[in-house]
Structure 1
């Protein structure tokens, strides 16, 4: 189901059970349109994500790790002034709409208590997050400023009075009940039931309306079925559905769904993490890494073009001996050439005296033309060593940037800055002189195998180098896909079980360019046998004496073993 008013009702129900009464200890803004409030309640920290993303707007308790920017945005600094240390008094949904109000009591500049409201509107590209003073509904700040010429219905700027979006004038099913469905059941064809439900009751997405129509079409008391179905939004059983073609959908409980497999979760937050970890994380990476992707593509294009030119030069060099033969013939028979001639045919004593037609520069005599051919010959012979050297360097650059492409494909947002730092250190991106803070390399992803052994996976070259060459014990087992760009994987054990070894190999295959392949070769050996050549790029190692496993990567295993 999409995140409609019914699912928002379920979210508010879960929030009231888990975090109301807790204290906001930290406020972060890891991404442009998203805030994370860390709410501590009953000795547990709950990271509450409030997203005003135009595509993935939502509210949820999340355990997906995030990396904060080194410089905090202005909006989060403003929120910290009012929210950090404040108690979360109550959470309410506006009618059955996709709007949630979070109420706190905060102290103003004079130390007086004032009620502050954080309002999240989850409405596609119009999504927004407001900090509102409750007593006069004044907008103190909002995550997206919208000029008046872009929204003439209400003012969306600091200092304006907060006004709700235009109402739909539909019935709230949670306050009025679903008894109004009785005429529909009697007078409306079944195919039109979902449309009737959506046009009558507030907060129904198309999926919700369709499932309710199917539910009440069963034998027995139709209205009883309807009210029992609605009550399930307060009796949660978070369910993630996977269709036959691999598409994901979700609901607050396990309802009637066609051609799917289902998986249940403890909380709505855990379920939404599983649903969004691919989609939203990919979007976040694309937002943060847009400039990096352009740099990498340009470098690959430049080096592939250079490689073609080098190959053309090598092809010419293979014909260098032909130039020497022509020079030898011209210097042997210079009297056959007169100025003004464009070519001459000479018996080739290197080829059974067959006539060889030799192009000439009409401005030169025979000896000068011979010298011209010898000069070209010497240049090409001298160029072969240089071209071969350049070909080796160019191939290494292409392999390096293909490796960066593979890392960006599996990167999480926290990995992007590491890749940016690496490209800056390598001179591919201009350093930001204004930012004087020393960047920190993020930590590798951690996993726990089925028998409890710690496994770490480097997601970029800086992580790989630090993990494999500095942090790993010499006896720990190192893994990497064979001859394919991918992550370094360390099993923190000198003698891992076969189960752990296979699971680690599957992680190495998944976090590589072969993640969609089967029967992927993965090399492994003790980390102490790794060597880094002098002057090589970050994350590059050589080794020998390895063994190889063949595995098929499994996305489900990754989420199962990952330490949150």
Structure 2
């Protein structure tokens, strides 16, 4: 779990710098296991999200509000009663535990000053939000845990809250060199695993980071390391701990392509080949990371049915194409049968009844060949038999050549839809792709016959560094419209060579394009293509007036005979998308 004790330490630092000393203004419970607390401090309003979700527990500051239900749940009502206007005295983290303790001061019904604690436990499926007296007596929790549910600890009103020590781990903030050697370095397991199973608050990611910084393979057995290597591992670990103690955090997200791969409160050196983006706050990292992850996950879930349809049809057509190619290859022998027939007509006079073969000189190349014969037939009848075989194979080949073209077009069309599914960012993009699949018979339309869903998806719109507008189709219908309805004759058209991808149109408005615009448009064509994971993609580009659309072809299919080519890196980080 990347949301480890080190991330919590960074959050604690951020909250101490922002909300400590502030006053709670509002408490809402948008979900059964989630709180949204609004705090005013130094004339600034902060929104703190606390989630005890079993699948995604979170703590971070956000600018986005999540309103609660009309009738507040009991836990929310209790918090409002006691700490609805409380002052936040401190935010502390015990050791490197995945726990934050909010110490709150408020006035009771008699006007006396009282203190309470709101404890946030980020422990995977065991996450919880617990409201306690100052002496750790539990007043209530967002999740009630009885003895029947846990033999380790009850979380119920009246019980005493304590940190459950379910695993024998050391505190990394206080561990000594001798303890590290004895407790971590003697274990017969991988070095990274020994670190995260021995020390509180360390995730596998950060354990690997310690090994990477120490120049040690995280998968190598730690007990097999030489003494100097163990010492170097401890010192590297100590430097990292010093950064945590000193609050020297570097919140960041590591991206693989445009998809977030990992986040961390400390710089990750183990991903040197991937793009890293640093942030001013860990809250910004968490909100961005999980929003992007959720969006990607959600669109993949929403598109799963369409992907299944496309992949099934694609597999079927690829198998059909392979079979047709094999059948086409079998027709190569047709010329042999024609020559047999011609030679039998020429030399058949020398055949005797019952002969099963005839040796003759092939007058096309001067070589002697042996022609198999059916002994029950005459030479003329054998010749007719070979001509019939030749005619059948010739007709088969002609039919197969047409079928191969149709099947290849079908495969190209399906691959273009598959690429468009990879490009899709929201449900509106999927609606247009579904319409295309319906129109070409891959999906049956449900509901009233002929009634189409409303199309709200539009092409991407970018603006180049020189101020030129660049448009990118998200699917075949948009590609078709951009290339043949939207673009004018002297606009430039870009597309990945020989593979599915978006049509990219640069509006010139009658001006000459600077070289940088060609490069930026090519980068977009590379990025929005099947080759977006490749280091470089070959891009064809030409004026729109050079494009032609064959009659009866699938949407987005074009031909051109005059073009230029260039290699482009699928990198669009420096391009500005325009929100129309």
Please classify the TM superposition score into its range, dividing by the shorter chain length.
0.5 to 0.7
The offset of 1:241, in angstroms, is 6.4
SS of corresponding position for 2:495: strand
Matched, 1:377 2:390: yes
1:217-242: per-residue Cα shift (whole Å, max 9, x none)? Answer: 57xxx9xx96x844739xx7523469
The offset of 1:374, in angstroms, is 3.2
Alignment of 1:507-546 (within 5 A): 507-517=524-534, 520-527=537-544, 529-546=546-563
The offset of 1:539, in angstroms, is 1.9
Matched, 1:359 2:376: no
The offset of 1:272, in angstroms, is 4.8
Aligned length: 488
User: Structure 1-normalised TM-score?
Assistant: 0.61
Residue aligning to 1:428: 442
Matched, 1:2 2:2: yes
Contact 2:492 2:505 in 1 (8 A): yes
Contact 2:13 2:247 in 1 (8 A): no
Contact 2:487 2:505 in 1 (8 A): yes
The offset of 1:486, in angstroms, is 2.0
Residue aligning to 1:392: 405
Contact 1:509 1:520 in 2 (8 A): yes
The offset of 1:509, in angstroms, is 1.7
The offset of 1:286, in angstroms, is 5.0
The offset of 1:537, in angstroms, is 1.7
Aligned pair in 2 of structure 1 residues 329, 519: CA closer, same or farther (>3 Å)?
closer
Residue aligning to 1:456: 471
- Which of 181, 184, 188 does residue 178 from structure 2 map onto? 188
SS of corresponding position for 1:232: coil
Residue aligning to 2:414: 401
Aligned pair in 2 of structure 1 residues 24, 547: CA closer, same or farther (>3 Å)?
farther
Q: Distance in 1 between matches of 2:522 and 2:532?
A: 12
Structure 2, gaps ≥5 residues long = 102-118, 130-137, 153-160, 186-193, 214-232
The offset of 1:122, in angstroms, is 6.2
Aligned pair in 2 of structure 1 residues 266, 451: CA closer, same or farther (>3 Å)?
farther
Range that drifts further, 482-491 or 288-297: 288-297
1:73-107: per-residue Cα shift (whole Å, max 9, x none)? Answer: xxx9x987769xx99x8999998866899xxxxxx
Residue aligning to 2:519: 502
The offset of 1:492, in angstroms, is 4.3
Residue aligning to 2:325: 311
Alignment of 1:141-290 (within 5 A): 167-168=164-165, 181=174, 184-185=175-176, 188-191=178-181, 203-205=201-203, 207=206, 217=238, 229-230=244-245, 232=247, 237-240=250-253, 250-252=263-265, 263-268=277-282, 270-272=284-286, 287-290=301-304
The offset of 1:200, in angstroms, is 10
* C-alpha RMSD over aligned residues: 6.4
User: Structure 2-normalised TM-score?
Assistant: 0.59
Residue aligning to 2:116: none
Contact 1:455 1:490 in 2 (8 A): yes
- Which of 478, 485, 489 does residue 500 from structure 2 map onto? 485
Q: Distance in 2 between matches of 1:100 and 1:254?
A: 23
Contact 1:327 1:370 in 2 (8 A): yes
SS of corresponding position for 1:550: strand
Contact 2:431 2:453 in 1 (8 A): no
Q: Distance in 2 between matches of 1:43 and 1:563?
A: 31
Q: Distance in 2 between matches of 1:452 and 1:47?
A: 40
Contact 1:317 1:384 in 2 (8 A): yes
The offset of 1:216, in angstroms, is 9.3
